[in-house]
Amino acid sequence: MTATHFHPKGKMPSQYTIAAQQKQRALLPFEDKQDFEEAKHGFIAAPPYRKIMNDKGGVAWNMDNWDFLLQGQDYDSIHPSLQRQALLNMEYGLYEVTPGIYQVRGFDLANMTILRGKTGWILLDVLTVKETARAALKFVNDTLGYCPVVAVIISHTHGDHFGGIRGVVTDDDIAQGKIQILAPKGFMHEAISENLFAGNAMVRRKSYTYADLVPTNPFGHVDMAIGKAVASGDVGILPPTRSIEQPFEELEIDGVHMVFQNTPGSEAPVEMNTWFPDFKAFWAAENVAGTLHNILTLRGAPVRDAMLWSKYLNEAMYRFTDKAEVLFQAHNWPRWGKDRIQQVMRDQRDMYAHMNNQVLHLANQGVTINQIHNVYEPPKTLQQAWYARGYHGSYPHNSRAVIQRYLGFWDLNPATLIPLSPEDSAPLYVEMMGGAEKILPKARELYDAGQYHHAIEILNKLVYGEPTNQPAKDLLADCYEQLGYQSEGLALRNSFLSGAKELRDGVVPVHAAKPGSADFVRGTSTGMLLEYLAIQMDSRKAEGMQFKINLITPDNGEQFIVEMSNATLTTMAGYRAPDADLTLTINRSDLEVVMIGQAKLKDMLAQGKATMEGNPQVLMQIASTLVKFDPWFEVLPGTLARAELESKDELLNDDAPIETRP
């Protein structure tokens, strides 16, 4: 292995890490090359460029970042199975799925899929940002001949599937009815709410678990399992012109016959698969991928239902895929031929059902959320199926998620019920272990023996006890790094490597894809905005405040009571309080202009577009409690250096209220 580490404190893979990787090379079926044939199948052309710029002058996308994967080297700093997946995701360009269906791959985290309708293109999912979506569509038109876009079908509520819509659709297209947008029932509400209320924490968690913090390098970011990475640029959202409401719904769009299968509560809160009988092609959205998916995404979201997910796949098998000639998805590559399709569908179905059932089987015998990841194993047959390996969702963290779903966080041990915060318990541990001078040599000994988990147990206590102890932080970083190298799961690898990076360098903010705030404000219901306001409020600043506000938005016929009592802001839709301290009347469309920042409320009042009756001081009282969230809060002790605080300002200026991630 010949590669240079990006970090001066970075370590090469240890002898134990190398041995672990070699063991995997011997255990796993590397002779099975079918995925490589499928990933290359139907290749039409790649563009002459590998970099896509964004409209702000930055780089939206650059396939050259991962060129090191194309060198034919085995890197001991990457789990061999993961390196294989990362190589498969290096496919770049336009591919034919079946005559009339095409995919652009390697332009963003997800694929853009293009169907030939009678008069134009029907797009299935439109990437994360305007810039990559626009480039993908242009490449399709340049290669296959120009057609207008007549419809966009959004499969689900994650940003890598809808965020690029502004690159393929204009407001005029919608206004003139030239382009239909279809999405599953509840799309706008779920797309926004999943990312709104805990959004700031999710930004931080996303940067950690997606390795935004570490360079692309054999020692850093190598892949995202369902694609290379998330593009950076303008993220938009447009409401569907038509919702798919029924569990199964048939439609003909531009001469193409489609049967939608709604799968709410699977990989996303709302999601849908589509069967194209004319093409004998089944679109599995993100419910099938070339990997085990997340039951819980570590960036944060409500835990998913593995059994429900499995049942949707089961029904799709019996209703559609037994007739299918191709199975294709929003991520990774398609599968052709009845046997192969049924094999993949069956194995993915069983993968989720097994995890659900066997984890609960063990939980019913007393295995807890703090043990299950060391106990649960998928069946041997699935361990040998590449697409059932844990690259995106990992078996260790997903098994914990199943227990979280059914039983919650507590292992029934009173010691872990309301434990001390780590910073409060650590000093006692450090003292009782004999201080840093005892802990560090022992940790070094464990590190040298390749016992990284054990070393972490004591070093983590020391770092919490002594947040300025840089030798302790460095050794802990070294342990995390080796575990990162050994992890097959990307979110595990990335989290270990991000932790190592922050222990070595402190918190260094990075840019991430930001949504176009105007689109998101327009898409957010007034009720949700008021609920988010209540989260932005620091209730400690609201002690003693007591008032009621009526908010009336005549243009959409809505009214709300917003009440402050007990330092808590609550919202009630559909009512008006007779004893309100203030009644604010403003059209929802004008409220949006204020929220987007294009006008101030006082301008709206001056222009007569808003009226207030009562005491306007209560608005000032609310304003005085609001806090602007900073996504670059400290995660590991002693990592938020003062110097870094200055450089964050520029990053925070353009932040939008909503962040959307896949």
Catalog residues that contact Zn ion under the rule CB under 5 A.
110, 158, 160, 286, 662
Q: Indicate the residue among 190 and 286 with the shorter CB distance to Zn ion.
A: 286
Q: Indicate the residue among 268 and 359 with the shorter CB distance to Zn ion.
A: 268
What's the one-letter identity of residue 504? R
Q: Indicate the residue among 155 and 486 with the shorter CB distance to Zn ion.
A: 155
Residue 233 CB, nearest approach to Zn ion (Å): 17
Task: Determine the Cα–Cα distance for residues 136 and 139; give it in Å rounded to an integer.
Answer: 5
Task: Determine the Cα–Cα distance for residues 400 and 418; give it in Å rounded to an integer.
Answer: 19
- H or E segment to which residue 454 belongs: helix 452-465
Q: Indicate the residue among 160 and 223 with the shorter CB distance to Zn ion.
A: 160
Give the orientation angle of helix 490-505 with respect to helix 470-486, to 10 degrees: 160
Q: Among residues 23, 20, 392, 4, which one has the least CA distance to residue 219?
A: 4
Residue 291 CB, nearest approach to Zn ion (Å): 12
Residue 226 CB, nearest approach to Zn ion (Å): 6
Residue 662 CB, nearest approach to Zn ion (Å): 4
Block residue for tokens 């995390």: 480
Query: Residue 433: CA atoms inside 13 Å, Cβ hemisphere, count?
Result: 22
Query: With contact defined as beta carbons under 8 Å apart, do 328 and 281 qualify?
Result: yes
Q: Helices in 524-629 by DSSP H: which ranges?
A: 526-536, 588-596, 601-606, 617-623
Q: How far from each other are the two terminal CA atoms of the chain, in whole angstroms?
A: 33
Residue 35 CB, nearest approach to Zn ion (Å): 19
Q: Indicate the residue among 108 and 590 with the shorter CB distance to Zn ion.
A: 108
- Going by their DSSP bridges, the two strands 149-153 and 121-124 should be labelled as parallel
Q: Among residues 624, 532, 367, 482, which one has the least CA distance to residue 21?
A: 482
By beta carbon distance, the residue nearest Zn ion is: 662
Task: Determine the Cα–Cα distance for residues 377 and 368; give it in Å rounded to an integer.
Answer: 15
Q: Indicate the residue among 162 and 452 with the shorter CB distance to Zn ion.
A: 162
Residue 110 CB, nearest approach to Zn ion (Å): 5
- Going by their DSSP bridges, the two strands 234-235 and 514-515 should be labelled as parallel
Q: Indicate the residue among 20 and 188 with the shorter CB distance to Zn ion.
A: 188
Residue 157 CB, nearest approach to Zn ion (Å): 10
Q: Indicate the residue among 160 and 592 with the shorter CB distance to Zn ion.
A: 160
Exposure class string for 358-393: b at 16+ Cβ within 10 A, else e: bbbebbeeebbbebbbeebebeeebeebbbbbbbbb
Residue 301 CB, nearest approach to Zn ion (Å): 12
Kindly tell me the burial class for residue 111, based on how many C-beta atoms sit within 10 Å of its own C-beta (0-12, 13-18, 19 or more).
buried
Query: With contact defined as beta carbons under 8 Å apart, do 292 and 389 qualify?
Result: yes
Q: Indicate the residue among 110 and 564 with the shorter CB distance to Zn ion.
A: 110
Task: Determine the Cα–Cα distance for residues 382 and 524; give it in Å rounded to an integer.
Answer: 42
Residue 330 CB, nearest approach to Zn ion (Å): 6
Residue 128 CB, nearest approach to Zn ion (Å): 9
Task: Determine the Cα–Cα distance for residues 459 and 471; give it in Å rounded to an integer.
Answer: 10
Residue 656 CB, nearest approach to Zn ion (Å): 20
- H or E segment to which residue 130 belongs: helix 130-144
Q: Indicate the residue among 236 and 467 with the shorter CB distance to Zn ion.
A: 236
Residue 154 CB, nearest approach to Zn ion (Å): 11
Exposure class string for 469-483: b at 16+ Cβ within 10 A, else e: beebbebbbbbbbbb
Q: Among residues 381, 391, 461, which one has the least CA distance to residue 426?
A: 461
